[in-house]
Amino acid sequence: MKKLLTPILWGLTIVSLAACKHPGKEAETITAATPENTDDISKNIYVDSDGEKIEVSINSTKNTATVHLNGKTYDLKKSIALPEYTASNEEYQYSEIKGNITFLKKNVDMVLFHLKQAKKDAGPAKMASY
C-alpha cells in the first residue's frame, strides 16, 4: 500500500501543477470598425448686423446643405439650375452669391436671414503722382 501511495501522490502533484500552468481564457475584445467619413463638409457661422446667428454646413459630396437658425434645423438640396451656391427644399432657400448670404421662406418671400459680407480690400488705392 505504501508503494502505491507514493506514486499516486506524485501523479496528483504533477497533474495539479500542470493544471495550474495552463493559460486561462483570454477576454475577447471586439473592436467595431468605425466607418471613415470621406464627405467634403464645410461649416460656417455667420452673424448679421442684428446679432442673429446662422450656422451652415455644406456637404459637397452629397450636394446638401444643413442650416441651423433660431434652434431649428433645415435640410436643403443643392439647386444646380440656380447661380453660384444655392440650396433649397419645398419651403426654404439658402443662397450664397458674391458674398451675399440669404436664407428665405419661399412661399411667402420672407427673408429669415440676410448678410452682405464686406469685400476684402486689396490694399490702399494707389494714385499716380506727376
Q: What is the pLDDT of residue 81?
A: 75
CA 109 to chain centre: 31
Tell me what percent of the residues of the chain surpass a pLDDT of 90.
Answer: 5
Instruction: Decide if pLDDT at 49 tops 80.
Output: yes
How far apart CA 33 and CA 17 sit, in angstroms, is 41
Q: What is the pLDDT of residue 55?
A: 92
Q: 65 near 76, Cβ under 8 Å? A: yes
Q: Is the pTM of this model over 0.75?
A: no
6-15, 19-28, 71-80, 119-128 — most confident range: 71-80
**Parallel/antiparallel/unpaired status of strands 100-105 and 110-116:** antiparallel
Phi, psi of 82 (to 5 degrees): -90, 160
By CB atoms closer than 10 A (0-12, 13-18, 19+), residue 85 is middle
3-state secondary structure of 14: helix
Domain residues of the chain, as ranges? Answer: 41-116
Q: What is the pLDDT of residue 19?
A: 64
Segment 66-85 mean pLDDT: 85
Segment 36-44 mean pLDDT: 79
Averaged confidence pLDDT in the chain: 78
